[in-house]
Amino acid sequence: MSHITFANVEVTYPGGLKALKGVDLEIPQGQFVVIVGLSGAGKSTLIRTVNSLVVPSAGDVRIGDRSVTRARGGELRRLRSDIGMIFQTFNLVKRSSVLRNVLAGRLGAVQPLRGVLGLFPKADVAFAHECLRRVGIPEKAFARADALSGGQQQRVGIARALAQRPSVMLADEPVASLDPPTSHAVMRDLKRIAREDGITTIVNLHFIDMAREYADRIVGMRDGLIVFDGTADDATDQVFEDIYGRPIDEDRDIRGRT
Amino acid sequence: MAVPDRGVVQGPPARPVTATRFLNWGTWGAIAVLFAVSVQQTGFNLEVVGQGMGDFLRFFGRLAPDWRALPQIWGPLVETLQIAWLGTVFGTILGLPLIFLASFNTTINPPVMFVARSILTVMRSIPDLLYAAILAPILMIGPLPGVAALTLFTMAVLAKLASEAVESIDPGPLEALRAAGAGRNRMIVFAVLPQIGATLTSFILYVFEINVRASVIIGLVGAGGIGNLINRYLSFFDYSGLGTLLIVVFGVVLAIDQLSVWLRSRLI
């Protein structure tokens, strides 16, 4: 079971900044949730409590019936290996090959010594190629990661996450560094794969139109709290104006029209 | 902001009286005082240097090389290079764990990092010649203490240089691998080594250059290599042998330096 439960999650960073002020949220298995909100609203922090990259100062995050927040050491690494993550800046190792970047997604699962030596089982290598095929760039396997375009690099990021065979996928502003047409192509891939594999997905976005187009459910955050939770149809312009705290016409950027 | 009237000629602004102005005077003053005190205490005297000039030139003339000494020189010279190479290899292998323990982004926890950094600081404060002098009586006169001395020196210098490189890598891939459930060693191999590989190789070559020069000297305190031969030539007043040796060493060290510089320029 891979439904996600946030129970009264609070995060206070060293220095006293309260990024999350008590978040309760229940995400059923297989749902594609988009979180919207201004920079600093707590979106990135919320998503990082799911794999404990940020540890809540209070409350609990559970996947199924297992607490991620309480997990330590090997147990935490096993939980993380079940959670794929993609990033705004892709976070690839630029000097390594695309294939090696994708195989890095298997690191949580292979035996320790094999992992350190980079000796992946044949099945893992074949699966890495398969992941690249699913994101549409099988021919790039042996290219260096930094030789690829932004959209292609993000696809490698998705392939790396897929190589984990995840049941949960986290995407932190996955298209914020891409141009609009590429953004839509990447979002379509992400949605299609999540649907096909039944992956519970949380995506941070700040473009309204994109959120409406791809989300099963939209969660609005403002100032460390959830201020909206509903379907794309429920999320009217008025709702977004409340989330962003300003009229949307004033700043066309947050519409993200292509 | 007030806009000055056109037509009114304004002189340059007066130089502000700042603390740095006085600090500059203070710095020059300190240099002068230290100079005066040092001359006084060491008894440095230009006159004596001038009187010694003649002896110096006469001595230099006696260094005229005698190429018959060459066969004697090759053996110790090769041993010197072997000491430098082994010290570099062992020092690199032993220094690798310290690199990552001393870097904030790959260490186990802050106390471990503190201990690793402290060890490196202490190790670096001891010059290679002193290591050799201490180790020679313990490990028996010969190449072994030389290798040990350069191993310690290489560990300390390489780990310090490389850990600065590790700390300046792009943190993104580390976060991605942590999120994928990879442990520390796997993160180092997959996210750190590819990023610092070229720099690390360049540092190793650089330390090898230093070690070649150091390995010539450490024989003077009994740590093997060509320094032993220098000692012998000096004590037997064999100045033409010494002259030959100096020319050979000069050529070889220069060649290795140039080769290493060229290799390093190709790496980055």
Q: What percent of chain B has pLDDT over 70?
A: 96
Judged by a CB distance cut-off of 8 A, whether residue B138 touches chain A is no
Confidence at residue A208, expressed as pLDDT on a 0 to 100 scale: 82
Element holding A35 (H helix, E strand): strand A32-36
Confidence at residue A250, expressed as pLDDT on a 0 to 100 scale: 52
Judged by a CB distance cut-off of 8 A, whether residue B177 touches chain A is yes
In a domain, B51, yes or no: no
* Tens digits of residue pLDDT in B63-95: 888 888 888 888 999 999 999 999 999 999 999
**Confidence band, pLDDT 50/70/90 cuts, at residue A234:** confident
Range with the poorest average pLDDT among A157-166, B19-28, B47-56: B19-28
Minimum Cα–Cα distance from B174: chain A residue: A91
Q: What is the mean pLDDT of residues B172-185?
A: 92
Confidence at residue A244, expressed as pLDDT on a 0 to 100 scale: 82
Average pLDDT of chain B is 88
* Optimal mutation site among A47, A93, A124, interface B, most CBs of chain B within 10 A: A93
Judged by a CB distance cut-off of 8 A, whether residue B267 touches chain A is no
- Helices B70-101 and B143-167 pack at an angle, to 10 degrees, of 40
* Optimal mutation site among A107, A146, A154, A158, interface B, most CBs of chain B within 10 A: A107
Is the model's pLDDT at A258 over the cut of 50? no
In a domain, A102, yes or no: no
In a domain, A190, yes or no: no
The whole-angstrom distance between B101's CA and the closest CA on chain A is 17
Q: What percent of chain B has pLDDT over 90?
A: 48
Q: What percent of chain A has pLDDT over 90?
A: 67
Residue B98 belongs to what domain range? 67-267
* Tens digits of residue pLDDT in A191-204: 999 999 999 999 99
The whole-angstrom distance between A235's CA and the closest CA on chain B is 31
The whole-angstrom distance between B198's CA and the closest CA on chain A is 10
Is the model's pLDDT at A110 over the cut of 90? no
Q: What is the mean pLDDT of residues B225-245?
A: 87
Is the model's pLDDT at B33 over the cut of 90? yes
Dmax over CA atoms of chain B, in Å, equals 86
Closest among A165, A31, A186, A57 to B181, alpha carbons compared:
A165
In a domain, A229, yes or no: yes
* Tens digits of residue pLDDT in A237-250: 888 888 887 776 65
In a domain, B146, yes or no: yes
In a domain, A163, yes or no: no
The whole-angstrom distance between A120's CA and the closest CA on chain B is 12
Given a contact cutoff of 8 angstroms between Cβ atoms, the answer to whether A206 and A254 are in contact is yes
Confidence at residue A254, expressed as pLDDT on a 0 to 100 scale: 54
Confidence at residue B65, expressed as pLDDT on a 0 to 100 scale: 84
Confidence at residue B1, expressed as pLDDT on a 0 to 100 scale: 45
* Tens digits of residue pLDDT in B96-122: 999 999 999 999 999 999 999 999 999
Question: How many CA atoms does the CB half-sphere of A114 hold within 13 Å?
Answer: 14
Residue A73 belongs to what domain range? 1-82+206-258
In a domain, B32, yes or no: no
Structural domain count of chain A: 1
In a domain, B28, yes or no: no
Closest among B249, B218, B95, B76 to B147, alpha carbons compared:
B218
Q: What is the mean pLDDT of residues B245-261?
A: 90
Is the model's pLDDT at A190 over the cut of 90? yes
Give B244 or A258, the one with higher predicted confidence: B244
Structural domain count of chain B: 1
Minimum Cα–Cα distance from A157: chain B residue: B176
In a domain, A213, yes or no: yes
Q: How much is the ipTM here?
A: 0.88
DSSP characters over A209-253: HHHHHH-SEEEEEETTEEEEEE-TTT--HHHHHHHHTS-GGG-GG
Q: Of A51, A115, A161, which has the smallest distance from its Cβ to B186's Cβ?
A: A115
Range with the poorest average pLDDT among A144-153, A168-177, B64-73, B200-209: B64-73
Is the model's pLDDT at A150 over the cut of 70? yes
Average pLDDT of chain A is 89
Closest among A52, A24, A10, A14 to A170, alpha carbons compared:
A52
In a domain, B55, yes or no: no
In a domain, B7, yes or no: no
Confidence at residue A255, expressed as pLDDT on a 0 to 100 scale: 55
Confidence at residue A253, expressed as pLDDT on a 0 to 100 scale: 54
Between CA B229 and CA B240 the distance in angstroms is: 13
Which residues in chain A have Cβ-Cβ distances shorter than 8 Å to B185?
112, 115-116
Given a contact cutoff of 8 angstroms between Cβ atoms, the answer to whether A35 and A214 are in contact is no
Backbone angles phi, psi at A104, to 5 degrees: -55, -25
Q: Domain holding A237: CATH number?
A: 3.40.50.300
In a domain, B189, yes or no: yes
Given a contact cutoff of 8 angstroms between Cβ atoms, the answer to whether B162 and B196 are in contact is yes
Backbone angles phi, psi at A174, to 5 degrees: -65, -20
In a domain, B60, yes or no: no
* Tens digits of residue pLDDT in A75-96: 999 999 999 999 999 999 999 9
Range with the poorest average pLDDT among A75-79, A108-112, A154-158, B222-226: A108-112
Element holding B231 (H helix, E strand): helix B226-235
Q: Domain holding B149: CATH number?
A: 1.10.3720.10
* Tens digits of residue pLDDT in B128-177: 889 988 998 888 888 899 999 999 999 999 999 999 999 999 999 999 99
CB spacing of A84 vs B170 below 8 angstroms: no
